[in-house]
Amino acid sequence: MKCNVGSIDRILRISVGIVLVALAANGIVGWWGWLGLIPMATGIFRFCPAYLLLGNNFCSK
C-alpha cells in the first residue's frame, strides 16, 4: 500500500474518527457512529482506497 493521504488530511481523518467512535460508544449517536473506524484506519495507515480509485495522491513523499 502506497501512501496517498497527506498530513492535514490524516489529522482530520483520525480526529473525526475518534469523535464518531466516542459518540457511538456513549450512545449519543446510533450505530452509524462506529463507521468512524473507517476514516480513523485510513488516517492511521495513510492509505485511502477511494483515493486510489480516483487517482488522487496527497502524500508529499
Query: Does residue 1 form part of some domain?
Result: no
Can you give the residue range of the structural domain that contains 20?
A: 7-54
Report the pLDDT value the prediction gives residue 60, as an integer from 0 to 100. 78
Question: Over the stretch 19-52, which tens digit does the pLDDT of each residue have?
Answer: 999 999 999 999 999 999 999 999 999 999 999 8
Residues 36-39: contacts with CB within 8 Å, 24+ apart? Answer: 39/13, 39/14
Per the structure, the count of domains in the chain is 1
**3-state class (DSSP) for residue 28:** coil
Q: Tell whether pTM > 0.75.
A: yes
Q: What does the block give as the cell for 11?
A: 489529522
Number of other residues whose CB lies within 10 A of the CB of residue 17: 20
Query: Does residue 48 form part of some domain?
Result: yes
